[in-house]
Chains A and B, each alone.
Chain A
Amino acid sequence: MSTITLYSVSYDLASVLLGALGSILPGGARAAITSADVVTGLSVLIFGVILLAASMLNTILLIWWERKLLGRFMDRRGAMHVGYAGLLQNFADGFKLFRKDTVRPREADPLGFLTGPTAYMVTSMVIFGILPISTGWNSGALPLSLLLALAIFSFAPLFIFVSAWSSNNKYSLMGGMRSAAQMIAYEVPLLLAVVAVVIVSGSFSLTTIVTEQQNYWYWGPLVLALIVFVAAMLAEMERIPFDLPEAEAELVEGWNTEYGGMLFAFFMLADYLRALVGSILVVLLFLGGWTMPSWVPSAATSFPLAGIVWFMIKTYLVFGVFVWIRASLPRVRTDQLLRVGWNRMIPLSLLAVFLAAALVIVKCLPVFGCLPSVGG
């Protein structure tokens, strides 16, 4: 039997469902409903629903994780009353936002005001659908999935700027401008850092990149690229120290000042979804994805869904580092941010690309297999 994949699970589920439905229907309808096209269509639908649920659950769990971690960094507890250790607090907040009215300023442009957050949310979700979480989660088995993910990732400034401009608020506008400038500036080093990974792995497919890391994870040889990637990803996710588009001290709430209710929840969820995607990309590109080093006892890596579990643990730890940075650093200024982006990050990422190319040319990569923390 072939490996169980997410798609095979949803296909089986669709077949069973349609089979059960067909058994109570007359012959002609049964034949129509159990035809291959219908089963495929339903399985794609189920597939999408599972992805959606996974992305939303993970996002909400990520918010909880940040609240708890940040709380401890600040010498306090974080959410703790709704559900066990406050696990359900975010659901309660979500329901509260869901029940609220959507207030649109009279002078705001309705089209941009409403489509901006929605498109932002949708594009962020699409990226999650592309990323492979484990060998079975093969939705990302496209040959160019890395490029596609980053391409969709860079849609965000457009939607942020549209929603900021159309809300007809000075603070929103400034936040939108900052956001666009920042994301465009940091897109370049982000992509260059990824190029380093692509050079070493020889593939644009995320699945291949991970399987290439069976022997050694890439953070060892590509540590410079990792640093550039994390810094650029912080800017792309608009988190402290690069959260100037939402700098609440001077810009109230930045580009989402005018948003409330469910539209604000869209922004919030999409922000954390992007944070999740960013952490996942770090894990995929540099920390070996779902692979584990060989010194880890096989009992810990061979149980069902072990790949997903280890992957998620890594992702949440990476996000923990982002939270740690957020807890201890102040915000930088726009001009400093852009100067760092263009003057420091791009040369650094170019250097990382050259280093990666040099490593490949002199064929010294397998040396990193000896590092104990990387495994072999």
Chain B
Amino acid sequence: MATPDASDEKPRDNPILWVARPMATAARQFTKSLFRPSTIVYPYERLEDPQFRDRLEVASGKPFGVGRVWDNYRGVHALNIATCISCNLCAFSCPDICIDMVTVPGGDPKHPKKCPQIDYGKCSYCGFCSDACPEGCLTMTTRYELSTPKRSEMVYSPEKLFAVFRSKLPMNPIRLARPANEDAILLDPPLCIGCNACARDCPTGCITMLDVAKPEAKPGEKLPRRIWKEPVVNDSDCVRCGTCISVCPKECLFWGTRK
């Protein structure tokens, strides 16, 4: 038997009277927990209740919970349908592919408004979706009680998520700052055909199609068949959702550093 260090050989390590020491320790714990055991009578006492947490800390002398410990909790999502811009970023960033964008009433018939619907049977509560949400409309709350007899009830429609939002639960306050010099949407001008697809589908409307001068056709050459407009992206409004890139038929938009 050897201890890590010769000086570390403490007398408390050695047995006295066969089993007297552990029994004394257990008895000390017994007297302590006679008045207030450490367990929390869960359905009646809840740690997310800050007043209860403070009382518990005083009663048990244990360092329970720090300030906003429960506010940061990643539980069921809350969705504010009103501010959702249907940018798809949450669905893109979901590693478990549990977010579907489904149509909600309120959009115009040509471009229906789509909001996330979350399947909690698959969700791993990683929080990537709420981190990705540019408008802060999809956040995570402290709700964690999800048990239900039916698997279908684990799928939360946007309306159900909106109901969570309206229940005024504490929301996860962590908002990620955008990187200072973020990549922007750049254009490869020779490839563009001015089709307006990007501007049409941009959820924030930060893309405007501006006229470009139609060049003179050189003799013997034909001008490409296209509309003589080009997208211009307003970087401060852009949420970097990449919708424009994915709808571009010619793959002329790409990520890059704005010079």
Is the CB–CB distance between A75 and B39 below 8 Å?
yes
Chain B residues, CB < 8 A from A327: 26, 30
Q: Are B37 and A73 interface neighbours, CB within 8 A?
A: no
Pairwise interchain contact A328-B39, C-beta atoms closer than 8 A:
no
Listed residue (B22, B23, B30, B34) with the most chain A CB atoms within 10 angstroms of its CB: B30
Interface residue SS majority, chain B: helix
Across the interface, name the chain B residue whose C-beta is closest to A71: B37
Known: A324-B27, A328-B25, A328-B26. A75 touches B37 (CB 8 A): yes
For B37, give its contact among A76, A325, A328, A329 (CB under 8 Å): A76
Complex contact B23–A77 (CB within 8 A): no
Given known contacts A328-B19, A329-B23, is B29 in contact with A73 (CB within 8 Å)? yes
Cα(A88)–Cα(B166), bound, Å:
42
Q: Give the residues from 23 to 60 in chain B that come closer than 8 angstroms, CB to CB, to chain A.
A: 23, 25-27, 29-30, 32-34, 37-39, 41
Tell me how far the C-beta of A320 lies from the nearest C-beta in chain B, rounded to whole angstroms.
Answer: 10
In residues 319-366 of chain A, which contact B (Cβ within 8 Å)?
A: 324-325, 327-329
CA distance A98 to B225 in the complex (A): 85
Q: A324 to B30: give the CA distance in the assembly, Å.
A: 9
B23:A72 contact, CB within 8 angstroms: no
Q: State how many residues of chain B have any CB contact under 8 Å with chain A.
A: 15
Mark contacts of B80-99 with chain A using CB atoms, 8 A cut-off: 1 yes-contact digit, 0 otherwise: 00000000000000000000
B residues near A72, Cβ cutoff 8 Å: 30, 33-34, 37
| Pairwise interchain contact B30-A325, C-beta atoms closer than 8 A | no
A77 touches B41 (CB 8 A): yes
Q: Which residues of A lie under 8 Å from residue B38 when comparing CB positions?
A: 75-76
Q: With A75-B39, A76-B39 in contact, do A328 and B22 touch (Cβ < 8 Å)?
A: yes
Cross-chain contact A75 with B27 (CB below 8 angstroms):
no
A74 to B37, CA, bound (A): 8
Contact string, A68-91, partner B, CB cutoff 8 A, digits 1/0? 000111111100100000000000
Set of chain B residues within 8 Å of A328, measured between Cβ atoms: 19, 22-23, 25-27
The reply to whether A325 and B39 contact each other, CB–CB distance below 8 Å, is no
Contact assessment for B34 and A324 in the assembled complex, using a CB-CB cutoff below 8 Å: no
Q: What CA separation (Å) do A325 and B19 show in the bound complex? A: 9
Q: Would B33 and A324 count as touching, CB distance under 8 A?
A: no
A323 to chain B, nearest CB (A): 10
Within 8 A of B (CB), among A92-145: none
CB distance from B106 to the nearest CB of A (A): 47
> Chain A contacts of B19 at CB under 8 A?
325, 328-329
CA distance A209 to B20 in the complex (A): 31
Which residues of chain B are near A76, meaning CB under 8 Å? Answer: 33, 37-39
Closest chain B residue to A80 by CB distance? B41
**Of B27, B29, B37, which contacts A77 at CB under 8 A?**
B37
A72 to B32 CA separation, bound complex (whole angstroms): 9
Which A residues touch B37, using CB under 8 A?
A: 71-72, 75-77
CA distance A74 to B33 in the complex (A): 8
Q: Mark B1-29, 1 if CB is under 8 A from A, else 0.
A: 00000000000000000010011011101
Check if B29 sits within 8 Å of A329, measured CB to CB: no
Q: List 13 A-B contacts (CB under 8 A).
A: A73-B26, A73-B33, A75-B29, A75-B32, A75-B37, A75-B38, A80-B41, A324-B30, A327-B26, A328-B19, A328-B26, A328-B27, A329-B19
